[in-house]
Structure 1
Amino acid sequence: MSSSHGAPAHAGPAAAEAPGVQSPFRQPKAVWAVAFACVISFMGIGLVDPILPSLADQLQASPSQVSLLFTSYLVVTALAMLVTGWVSSRLGAKRTLVVGLVLIVVFAAIAGTSGSIGEIVGFRAGWGLGNALFIATSLAVIVGSASGGFSGAIVLYEAALGVGIACGPLLGGLLGNISWRGPFFGVAVLMLIALVATAILVPPTPRPEQRSSLSEPIKALRHRSLTTTSVTGLLYNWAFFTVLGYAPFLMHLSPLKLGGVFCAWGILVAIFAVFGAPMLKSRFGTARTLYASMVLMAVDSLVIGVFPGHPAAVIGATIASGIFIGVNNTLVTTAVMSIAPVPRPVAAATYGFVRFIGGGLAPFAAGKLVEHYNTHVPFILGAVAVLAGAVVLSTVHGALSDADRDEAHVGTSHERTDAEQAVGEMPGLPEEAVLAEAALIEDRTLGDGIPGTRAAPDRRHP
């Protein structure tokens, strides 16, 4: 690109505004369409929590069988992370986004018509595939579709994800109070609206010039720093999804009240991922903040493990876990992006694959452990797992400290390179907007879908 190109005539005054003064609400319809889809997509994470006991009762299934709704969804999401780059590099961002939305609509609707837990588990897996394709491309589409107010578009994206995480359980509780089928049909209808809006309002996106390889995310595991941080993510996700997948059975609440509990949990996840983690990191550093958060998360899991027969203790500990999950989500992702010696999309795919494997297997394992032992065991195991994650992370303590120090240095990072490519591929964008947005995205780490911290520059390119 060259600055002599100038801004196209149609860019309009919004594109020329300084990013610091733009409102997040001054966005094109395309941005709003994808942001709405983001809200609904991330509702899917906690949507089924309030209806787990109802499903077990009405379909005569054991808790371990019902927990397979998490396992199928997350394991398929994990595996799909390995191919999303390959797919999007051949279809283009918009087509990948639309395919993901179609899959979510179809499988969510069919799940609502199911007559057995096995059918729901299978259709939930298809839902996970669609969600992986959607998550992998939504930010790029939002950024590329914005004709003005880029910084506002990112803020809007963060807000959409936070609302989705918090409102998913609430929607599940409201609709689940009517019927266990309600949450599935509700998501299908909302996602259908999002699909139509996306197909109509989001401009076409070209296919990338360079196609991704299927083997890149697996080959990236050869790098010790990426493997170490990914295993850390797997271990804390084991504790995270043990709470998310089995604690509802210990609360003895109606779907509506369960929705309220997990809504409060989701609000804490969003607040501490977006605001708490960066603040703690700036004061204590990535490593020390994560050590403390993981130890406290282990204590939180132990509270449930020691008092599983006291619903008040289980409810309080479950809600409080949102604090530690929010901090861990942001900072472990930041660690991955900061010290992994591979491009950000590859690191994100590899990390997503490893961590979601842990998240998917934990709820099923929790149910089986309760069946064979008692309700204490899975939560004590979760506490041990997250403590092990802290020990594993300590083996790259030096690299994390170096990454924190490098944040003060100016340089070209792989985050900026990825941002320039993602934004630059969109037709009709002025160069100034491309460079400004590339710099903005470099200051954010995407990870779990909740941006909010600055990723360290790539030290391979001083």
Structure 2
Amino acid sequence: MKTQQQTPTARTLAILSSVPVIMVLGNSMLIPVLPAISRTLQVSPFQVSLLITLFSIPAAITIPLAGILSDRIGRKKVIAVGLLLYGAGGLLAGLASIWGDGSYIAILLSRILQGIGAAGTAPIAMVLTSDLYQQEKRSEALGIIEAANAMGKVLSPILGSILGLISWYAMFFLFPILTLPIILLLWYQIEESIHTQGLPLHQYKKNIKKIFRVHGRWLFISFASGSIVLFSLFGVLFYISDYLEKTFHLVGVGKGIYLSIPLLSLSAVSYWTGKQIGHSAFLTKRFIIGGLGVIALSLLLLPWFTKLYLLLSITALMGLGSGLVLPCLNTMITSAIGLQERGIITSLYGSVRFLGVALGPPIYGALISSPKLLFIGNATILLIAIFFSYHLIENPQHLRGKNGHSRLLLRKKRLYSP
């Protein structure tokens, strides 16, 4: 069922872009103050690392559920509730930090609540963006969403370092301060131009199975590629962070600025990529394969260079490759799936992306004693992804109809709305 289509404004995209920025702050902003939390609460490094892990894992698990709900009850409701839980978790963590001498268990439970809330934020904002924008404008808008996500990653450790000068728990109170205005703007300033009427559950399940039967091969490699790209990027950021501290004695805000270079590159190239594939869908597959190749090359070069400017140049190259791949995957996945199932499919993609970010640093940390072998192994995985992407990803013009439909599924009794 659909209502009259509106033309989204720049304000609409600005509001939607703020959602992934807020989500990214949930983890990255805490990283600079983790040592202070460990000292103050007298907990071990492993225990303090759970403040990150028990945010990420609940989010990754809950994202598919948020996707299903967004298909059934609407995108805005899910995003608004997600932001509300996210802000409430931050407020509770802040109160638990100042109550008495601080309660580690209460902060940990608050972080779990935040992670559950985060599941309904950025992945569903991507779905809503895809609903609101059509054809080439969709590619450009999703490129901006990806750029905003990267900019959030750039700003969060710097912002965390600055707030840490006030107190180790100051950032917890920032979450409700930021989320409440965004909820109000989302609710009153954005109208869902296309409204879904939830299919009967048996039909919904049937359509999901049909999607994976028809599109399963290229969806699988697309999901895997997105996860591998983010695994590689954040694994390398972990490696570079440790290397900068041990070799060049860079810490705090200064190190954060250096680490922001690949993320700035990712942000700028994501914006550019979104504009390019909006004008020429034929470039999509080329950008995916080329971007994966650039990341693989960067990984093969990285362990052989020790000078700071060369290391930072190679990480910027990784950001460039990631900026070529991610907006293309976002556009392909959201455009090829019909409106009534777009939430769950896009959310599954968001979940594997989240796992890639979460798994990169610990796996790199566990294997960093053999860096050359680690980087060669990671590059080999990317080369395998290139091979399967070349053979399994169809020409995007064959995946998208005029209004973003899957042409293959449209031939099956037109199950999907525009």
Deviations 1:234-267 (A, max 9, x none): 3333322323456434433443223323433332
Partner of residue 267, structure 1: 264
**Could you tell me how far apart the structure 1 residues matched to 2:144 and 2:389 are?**
34
Deviations 1:416-460 (A, max 9, x none): 24xxxxxxxxxxxxxxxxxxxxxxxxxxxxxxxxxxxxxxx6455
Deviations 1:219-247 (A, max 9, x none): 96662332233233333333223234564
Partner of residue 355, structure 1: 353
Partner of residue 224, structure 1: 217
Change (3 A) 1:54 1:313: farther
Partner of residue 248, structure 1: 241
Partner of residue 113, structure 2: 126
**Could you tell me how far apart the structure 1 residues matched to 2:143 and 2:289 are?**
27
Partner of residue 329, structure 1: 326
Displacement of 1:105: 0.4
Give the counterpart of 1:98 among 80, 91, 95: 80
Give the counterpart of 1:169 among 141, 148, 157: 157
Deviations 1:374-433 (A, max 9, x none): x43478536523431331441342333x41xx53x79626x624xxxxxxxxxxxxxxxx
Partner of residue 433, structure 1: none
Normalising by structure 2, we get a TM-score of: 0.71
**Could you tell me how far apart the structure 2 residues matched to 1:390 and 1:32 are?**
36
Displacement of 1:36: 4.0
Q: In the TM superposition, what are the counterparts of 1:392-403 in structure 2 within 5 Å? A: 392-400=385-393, 402-403=394-395
Q: In the TM superposition, what are the counterparts of 1:39-58 in structure 2 within 5 Å? A: 39-44=21-26, 46-55=28-37
Paired residues of 1:339 and 1:399 also in contact (CA < 8 A): no
Q: In the TM superposition, what are the counterparts of 1:200-219 in structure 2 within 5 Å? A: 200-202=188-190, 208-211=196-199
Change (3 A) 1:313 1:376: farther
Paired residues of 1:108 and 1:127 also in contact (CA < 8 A): yes
**Could you tell me how far apart the structure 2 residues matched to 1:157 and 1:169 are?**
20
Supply the AA of the counterpart residue of 1:133: G
Partner of residue 439, structure 1: none
**Could you tell me how far apart the structure 1 residues matched to 2:319 and 2:121 are?**
24
Change (3 A) 1:277 1:155: closer
Paired residues of 2:232 and 2:360 also in contact (CA < 8 A): yes
Change (3 A) 1:378 1:172: farther
Partner of residue 401, structure 2: 412
**Could you tell me how far apart the structure 2 residues matched to 1:237 and 1:92 are?**
28
Supply the AA of the counterpart residue of 2:401: T
Paired residues of 1:49 and 1:244 also in contact (CA < 8 A): no
Paired residues of 2:20 and 2:149 also in contact (CA < 8 A): yes
Change (3 A) 1:381 1:95: same
**Could you tell me how far apart the structure 2 residues matched to 1:273 and 1:191 are?**
25
**Could you tell me how far apart the structure 1 residues matched to 2:316 and 2:400 are?**
40
**How high is the sequence identity, in percent, across the aligned residues?**
22
Asked if residue 237 in structure 1 is aligned to residue 230 in structure 2, the reply is yes
More helix by share: 2
Normalising by structure 1, we get a TM-score of: 0.66
Paired residues of 1:173 and 1:256 also in contact (CA < 8 A): yes
Supply the AA of the counterpart residue of 2:223: S
Supply the AA of the counterpart residue of 2:350: G
Change (3 A) 1:32 1:341: closer
Change (3 A) 1:346 1:186: closer
Identify unmatched segments of 5+ residues in structure 1. 418-456
Q: In the TM superposition, what are the counterparts of 1:114-193 in structure 2 within 5 Å? A: 114=97, 115=102, 120-139=107-126, 160-161=148-149, 163-193=151-181
**Could you tell me how far apart the structure 2 residues matched to 1:176 and 1:320 are?**
31
Give the counterpart of 1:109 among 83, 91, 97: 91
Displacement of 1:78: 2.1
Supply the AA of the counterpart residue of 2:290: T
Displacement of 1:108: 2.0
**Could you tell me how far apart the structure 2 residues matched to 1:61 and 1:250 are?**
25
Supply the AA of the counterpart residue of 1:282: L
Paired residues of 2:221 and 2:389 also in contact (CA < 8 A): yes
What count of residue pairs does the alignment treat as equivalent?
Answer: 388
Paired residues of 2:19 and 2:122 also in contact (CA < 8 A): no
**Could you tell me how far apart the structure 2 residues matched to 1:72 and 1:218 are?**
31
Paired residue secondary structure (2:121): helix
Q: In the TM superposition, what are the counterparts of 1:361-440 in structure 2 within 5 Å? A: 361-367=359-365, 369=366, 375-377=368-370, 380-381=373-374, 383-400=376-393, 402-403=394-395, 407=397, 412=401, 416-417=404-405
Supply the AA of the counterpart residue of 1:81: I
Change (3 A) 1:383 1:337: farther
Let me know the Cα RMSD of the aligned residues.
4.6
Paired residues of 2:336 and 2:404 also in contact (CA < 8 A): no
